[in-house]
Chains A and B, each alone.
Chain A
């Protein structure tokens, strides 16, 4: 098991997303990637894995105002995986 710390998180307005995916490379810890599912528009939308720092870069670059950004009061530790890191 590995422990991954998230200092922050986001809330996504899934239906606002047009699937441009600019948030993915903008995220410094690279914890965003596009879904396989699609929203009502037919667009893929970003999904979040542990490791978010709450930096807000995704929110800044998003043309469709899809992100709310939060910083945890205490970092959240996720125990993940069952194999090697």
Chain B
């Protein structure tokens, strides 16, 4: 049946639960989110990533042990609705706060929520040292390759050629330098137990990313050391592209540099270069 044919099909009433016998397989929002409302843009990837993190916390039975240290970016908006204890930190400085929390409450599930500008620009030192120390926290970085909240400016993860308000002609290696692939800096460190990079560009990638978050939190719960999950997210506003192009741009532009996969798991260590050398499936 063609798409045109499908459009002539009857539109079903989906405003209410189905009248036929059915079972619910997916809630509107995670239990640990008190409201679906947020102020993030249409087509933003961050709420998709947020859902995954909160679902995993719930599924691991850690809702009443979780303490989140929140950086500064669009995602900070979620402190209004996430039903998990949280501490608002300065830009880049969530890992040190999470360190203090975890050292005083070792039984808690401590994680940070940070953006790429927050973690790799302002806070590079914080996360690297936390990983080297093997701090038993989980750092989550939402990477959209821009400072979204301030309006779309270049960060340390912006890829070459990417246009932002501070790299109007596109990021140039000679003038702006190269992006930093933070996962590659963290993965080899002695204290790192699990380091992975996921993406929310399509359903399969989202599902794989949720598995990464579960492994990361489990590494903390098992006391194996520092864990890190980078999640590539769309920011059509900061990329100055139409919303519908967001997922494709994410996969083809950011994803071509920030390759998805697991970089560190116990003794296994891989680089982004090795991940990208593997045949790229349509979805990872």
Contacts and interface: CB of A to CB of B under 8 A. Distances in A.
Interface of A: 4, 8-14, 16, 18-22, 25-26, 30-31, 33, 43, 47-51, 54-57, 59-74, 76, 78, 80-81, 85
Majority SS of interface residues in chain A? mixed
Interface in B190-209: 200, 202-203, 206-207
Interface in B209-256: 243-244, 246-247
Interface residues of B, number: 48
Given A51-B9, A56-B203, A78-B10, 19 more contacts: A4-B9, A11-B15, A12-B14, A12-B15, A20-B42, A22-B243, A33-B7, A47-B11, A49-B7, A61-B48, A61-B247, A63-B44, A63-B45, A63-B47, A65-B28, A65-B33, A68-B28, A73-B22, A80-B10
Contact of B22 (A12, A21, A62, A70): A70
Given A20-B42, A63-B45, A70 B12 contact: no
A6 to B, nearest CB: 8
B281 interface: no
B25 A56 contact: yes
A82 B35 CA distance: 43
Contacts, number: 141
B24 interface: yes
Contact of A50 (B9, B36, B200): B9
- 5 nearest CB pairs, A to B: A49-B9, A57-B203, A69-B26, A20-B42, A18-B42
Q: Choose among A21, A65, A69 the residue with the greatest number of B CB atoms under 10 Å from its CB.
A: A65
A65 B47 contact: yes
A66 B28 contact: yes
A70 B14 CA distance: 11
Nearest to A72: B22
B150 interface: no
A76 B43 contact: no
B1 interface: yes
